[in-house]
Amino acid sequence: MNIVPILIMDLIISFIGNAVPFFGEAYTVYAALTLFSTRSSILSIALVIIVTALGATVSKNVSYALGYVLRKPLKRTSAVKLIMLLSDKAPLWILVIILAALPGLPLDDYIYIGTGAASINPLRLNAYVLIGKLIKSSIEIPIELLLFSSLYGLLRQSIGLSTFQVIMAIVFTVLAFIIFKVDWIRIYIKLQNKECITKDK
Higher pLDDT, 183 or 47: 47
pLDDT at 80 over 90: no
For residue 133, how many other CB atoms are within 10 A of its CB? 30
The phi-psi region of residue 104 (left if phi > 0; otherwise alpha if psi is between -120 and 50; otherwise beta) is: left
Please report, as a single letter, which amino acid is at residue 63: S
Alpha-carbon gap, residue 173 to 180, rounded angstroms: 11
DSSP structure class, residue 87: T
Task: Please report, for residues 73, 84, 86, 112, the alpha-carbon distance to residue 120 in angstroms, rounded to integers and kept in the order given.
Answer: 16, 8, 10, 10
pLDDT at 156 over 70: no
Helices first, then strands: H and E counts in the chain = 11, 0
Higher pLDDT, 110 or 168: 110
* 90-101 vs 108-117: helix crossing angle, rounded to 10: 140
Alpha-carbon gap, residue 54 to 67, rounded angstroms: 21
pLDDT at 62 over 60: yes
Q: What is the pTM of this model?
A: 0.75
Could you tell me the pLDDT band of residue 196, with boundaries at 50, 70 and 90? Answer: low
Alpha-carbon gap, residue 104 to 122, rounded angstroms: 24
Per-residue pLDDT at 87: 83
The phi-psi region of residue 24 (left if phi > 0; otherwise alpha if psi is between -120 and 50; otherwise beta) is: left
